[in-house]
Amino acid sequence: MLSHAYEREGPHQLQNENGLNLDKLDVNPYPESPYDGSQLISLDIGSKPIRYRIHRAFFSQSEVLNAKIGLSVWQSNRTDIIALPDLDKSTAHTLVHYLYCGKYQALSRYNNSKRGRRTAYESSVSVYCAAARYKLSGLAELAKEKITFLGEQVSMLDILSIARENAFPSLPQEDSWFPTYLCDAIKVASKRDPELLLNPLFSDQLEGDRRFRHVVVKAIVACQSSRDIGPEEQEREDMIPAVGSVEEGEETKDSEDQTINNPGEEPPLPSKPESPPPPPAMEPEPTMEPEPTMELEPAIGPEAEETTPIASETLGTSINPKKKKKKTYPLE
């Protein structure tokens, strides 16, 4: 009988005379007993309602469920009914058990078969989505542990199918954990099976909820990017120095280190700055030769003979072609 009392830790560290830790006994977290005079609320589960009768005090753990009770006062005279048509029987059992006991409990026993593992994983995903919608953070953390553990025992195709059909249609828009979990699961599965993304059964899952499709495509792009540059190629590229990576300051430092390492040698003289190359020589402009002129024959006549000179070939002087008369002097 004592084993049922060890389900929850209490705030006190007490021991009895037999050394039994009394802090493991359940302690009521409510100001008063939730069973004493508390109003019973009917929780209708599913499209064909299955009714659960729950003490009203336990709904205070969820502000969303607690608000539904207040709304029903204004909507009708039947203030003791909350309808949750989006829940199935298994998820409702886990939710109600958590409200009463603060623990995660599945409705049916775990069956270690392919179908049994899928059913257990699907149930944990549904519980997480319900906990996220009704803001039960404690139940959500417990469901995360179940999803992570059971996700290692089902195929990636089953994970995609359950996410598409069960999770994203009912997952709150503000939730970020499950989309991140799904994206990481696809990356890990793709590394284990490089042909996964080429499997037609994988591409058949790209339908339905828009947010689901976005997460899957994002994971595919990330997988493809990691495959374009493998680890060996990345390491080889890191060993190649980039062009212009050695700066002028580093070269100066290397030359100073060489001078310090050889103190006996005279330091090299600074090199003279190179003079700028002479400007290219200007090519002389080609001289224009005078055009040949036609020499006119001297005109025949007494006037021409007096005026027209004839160039001498030997002396290079001009002489008058007219013969001068020699003067004669008489002999005495």
Q: Is 208 exposed, middle or buried (0-12, 13-18, 19+ CB in 10 A)?
A: middle
- The rounded radius of gyration (Å) of the Cα atoms in the chain is 53
| pLDDT at residue 308, rounded to an integer | 46
Task: Give dist(CA 111, CA 166) in Å, integer.
Answer: 21
Q: pTM value?
A: 0.61
Name 81's bridge partners: 42
Mean pLDDT, the chain, integer: 74
Extents of the domains making up the chain: 1-30
Residue 21 has what pLDDT?
Answer: 57
Question: Nearest CA to 102 among 131, 82, 123, 132?
Answer: 131
pLDDT per residue as tens digits for the range 278-326? 666 565 555 565 555 555 455 454 444 444 444 444 444 444 544 555 5
pLDDT tens-digit map of 65-105 = 988 886 544 555 556 889 999 999 999 999 999 999 999 99
Q: Is the distance from CB of 46 to CB of 31 less than 8 angstroms?
A: no
Between 274 and 166, the more confident residue is 166
- pLDDT tens, residue by residue, 140-166: 999 999 999 999 999 999 999 999 999
Distance CA 297, CA 278 (A): 55
Task: Show Cβ contacts of residue 173 under 8 Å, excluding neighbours closer than 6 positions.
Answer: 211
Please tell me the predicted confidence (pLDDT) of residue 291: 56
